[in-house]
Amino acid sequence: MEEEFYCLLKLVSGEEIFSIVSIDYNDDDPVVVLQNPVVMKFINSPSGIHLKVKPWVELVDEDIFAVKMDKIITMTEVKDIKLIDVYHNYNKTSNNYTEVATNGEVKLSTDMGYISSVEESRKKLEDIFKDVKDS
């Protein structure tokens, strides 16, 4: 296997993938090995331009994929530190999967900001308000 590098790939399907890549030349048919491949897309909004990052394959827990060379149109090594940082930050946070109920609703978690019940929050806010009022 060849040395790993950050790469942007354009596939014959039209997909553009950003990944850590290494090339396996062991067979007559070389294979490109992708680690944690993601799709990055620029989104224009009234607040500015944003970079949307999502996994290349969303419904599996695997993080290593093999792609045959005949499925790749072009490969470009990426050395842009900002883009690499976005990739690493996404991969650090993407390991926290959101739990979804059978009816399709997302269940709240402490990662989403849910830290107490409405009653507990109301009591804390009333205590703060009383303390400010008494001061």
pLDDT surpasses 50 at 7: yes
Provide the CATH number for the domain around residue 45. 2.30.30.100
12 and 50 inside one domain: yes
3-state secondary structure (DSSP) of residue 69: helix
- Please tell me whether residues 88 and 116 are part of one structural domain: no
- Burial of residue 9 (CB within 10 Å: 0-12, 13-18, 19+) is buried
The three-class DSSP label of residue 107 is: coil
Looking at residue 114, what is its pLDDT?
62
Q: What is the pLDDT of residues 83-109, one digit of tens each?
A: 888 888 888 776 544 444 555 555 665
Same domain, 36 and 60: yes
Q: Range with the lowest mean pLDDT among 2-16, 46-60, 94-108, 112-126?
A: 94-108
> Worst-scoring range by mean pLDDT, 32-36, 99-103, 110-114, 122-126?
99-103
Let me know whether 26 and 71 are in one domain: yes
Q: Tell me, yes or no, whether 69 and 122 share the same domain.
A: no
Q: For all residues of the chain together, what is the average pLDDT?
A: 82
CA distance 63 to 120: 40
Q: How many domains does the chain have?
A: 2
- Where b means 16+ CB within 10 Å and e means fewer, 58-97 reads eeeeebebebeeeeeeeeeebeeeeeeebbeebbeeeeee
Domain shared by 80 and 108, yes or no? no
Domain of 80, in residue numbers: 1-95
Co-location of 82 and 131 in the same domain: no
Q: How far apart are CA 92 and CA 88, in angstroms?
A: 6
Task: Answer yes or no: do 84 and 132 share one domain.
Answer: no
Handedness of CA 9, 15, 20, 23 (dihedral sign): negative
Q: Verify that 24 and 89 share a domain, yes or no.
A: yes
* pLDDT interval class at 131 (50, 70, 90): confident
Point out the least confidently predicted range of 37-41, 59-63, 131-135.
Answer: 131-135
